[in-house]
Amino acid sequence: MNNKFRNNRKLYIGALITGMMLFLSVIGLLFTPYDPNEMDSSAKLAGISLSHIMGCDNFGRDVFSRILAGLGTTMTVAVGTVFIGIVLGTVVGAYTGYYGGRLDEILMRFNDAVLAFPALLLALVLISVMGPGKYNIMVALGILFAPGYARIIRGEFLRCKNLDYVQSARLMGASDMRIMFVHILPNTFNVMLSTIAIGFNNAVLAEAGMSFLGIGVQPPDSSLGRMLAEAQSYLFLRPGYAVCTGITIVLLIIGFSMLSEGLENNA
């Protein structure tokens, strides 16, 4: 067990950090010590105390409560983004990889064109058209993440579609849909796990970046990126506000990064 842990410690450490952050995000969605949007004029920029373990922001709102709520919002956006990207990418990748032909050529060239542009830049364009907001971010990022998933799924379908178990399913009269989504798709899960973890990592970064710029999650919803933007004006007066928010974002990124690397090494 020690050798196994030493050889793939990133998987265990990443899973531990990610699990802790997921647990806190669920708590943030269900319960916070204070109302994240409740303002107390007497507690503006208050320091750390027993009643406010991370202090208060410039509006007198409890920082710990807002971080919990912001963590819940960020993880909600990440889950929605990855789900939309996986569904779209799986459908496109499965059909192009299994059937090939002209449809494959057309969709993959479009896929390559989308992947050639920075995803965050395209997301900013889509958000400027669709408008800011939590759900619009999910849709925009999900659409932009789909080509990456589609390419991986396509590669796995190209690899698997002529294997013996697929040929046996054809001889037994299984339909193409059953072969694609019952026989081949489950065999792509090991490869997709690390890609999904990377997708969560990228979704967290993208959401935080857009919210930091003011075009992501909008008030009254809490957002780690927006909190970091607000905290920069008080960096020297109340550094704990920015530090606590920044550490939360960094832990999320480190957790998902280590988890994806560990899963890739374990594949």
Percentage above 90 pLDDT, the chain: 17
The pLDDT, as a whole number, for residue 30 is 87
Write down the mean pLDDT value for the chain: 85
Instruction: Name the pLDDT band for 111 (thresholds 50, 70, 90).
Output: confident
CA distance 26 to 22: 6
Q: What are the beta bridge partners of residue 195?
A: none
Would you state the structure tokens that stand for residue 38, as one six-digit string?
């409740």
Maximum distance among all alpha carbons in the chain?
Answer: 76
List, for residues 95-109, the tens digit of each pLDDT value. 988 888 888 888 888
pTM across the whole model = 0.86
Name all domains of the chain by residue range, CATH numbers in brackets: 6-30+56-266 (1.10.3720.10)
- Interacting residues of 83 by C-beta distance below 8 A, sequence separation 6+: 142
List, for residues 174-209, the tens digit of each pLDDT value. 888 888 888 888 888 888 888 888 889 889 988 888
The pLDDT, as a whole number, for residue 3 is 52
The pLDDT, as a whole number, for residue 242 is 87
